[in-house]
Structure 1
Amino acid sequence: MPSSALQPLLNHISVIEKNKGTLLIKQGYRHSYSYFILQGLARVFYQKGDSEINFWFGLENEPLGSMDTLKGNASKVSIELLEPCRLIQFNIASLQKELKDDPVTITLLRTVMEEYAIFLEERLFGLQGLSANERYKYLLQTEPSIFQRVSSTYIASYLGMSRETLSRLRSKSVL
């Protein structure tokens, strides 16, 4: 693809750096941006009653955002940076408005949506219906770095178990 084809897209993206603890997206609010993680780690979670349910962890070279952003709706999730991050920030609102007929933009948005759909399917089939032990093993096999980079509280929430259960599984070295 010639670099001139990317120029309209480049007007709507920027590389940014954000500190650990930054809330990129807040549940219940509309947001204009989606992201791609170049360096760092984030968690995607939602509030359910008094609890935070961790939905996924965003790692390097992964898209990060809320599908609601693409539709102009309030986000169902919050996104917090767990490490200092270097991100590509996409202004989805302006991309959709100004470049709605641009083939590069259409391809980008379609690719982001496809990647998110694949992630959701993998999460659904990878973790649903598994025992606590099997969910722990699955995460250990697919994303072992999570255990060094994320707190046990967040991992337990992601796996749908208590911290105590996670601690027991880790101490047994189930693999």
Structure 2
Amino acid sequence: METPDHSKDALPSAFQEHLGTVAEFYARHNQDLSPAQRAVERISFFLGSPGYVVGNLVFVVLWIAWNLTAPELGFDQWDEPPFFWLQGLIALNAFVISTTVLIRQNRMSTLASQHSHLDLQVNLLAEEKNSKIIRMLEELRRDLPNVRDKSDPEAEELSRPTDTEAVLSIIEASSEQLNCERK
């Protein structure tokens, strides 16, 4: 049985061009990162790993086990129950994790906003192209002698470009109404 070709060359050239554009977008976005942001990204990646969680759990268990058994073994107890120092370390760990997650989340939010803006632009352009294609088909239908010329209200409506300002106004009004209902 032949295995499918998953190489880049197996893709149509237009698709390869789009993949290249997307890759360039991410490369530009990553190129603009400051050294501090790069460090936060690496730290955030590490803090979100299963190994980090397991390491933390092992550390806490060993800390508690040591501090409960140390006096019986003749060693000094670092942290008596209720483990004040361990609670401080866990709180510091939580602070570092939440801060790095928020910093990374802000960057991801900016990236998502750029994606949404790009999606909107592409969708508006596609809508314009679709309207143009429908107008051209309707023109052909009217001009071809062997095609019966009949009125198609749906095609006429679809051939008109969408009034984006009207759509935006409706969305804003709906959003405002929803916000008022929530209050």
Q: TM-score, normalised by structure 1?
A: 0.25
Q: TM-score, normalised by structure 2?
A: 0.24
Q: Identify, as 1 or 2, the structure richer in strand.
A: 1
Of structures 1 and 2, the one with the larger relative CO (CA 8 A, separation 6+) is 1
Q: Identify, as 1 or 2, the structure richer in helix.
A: 2
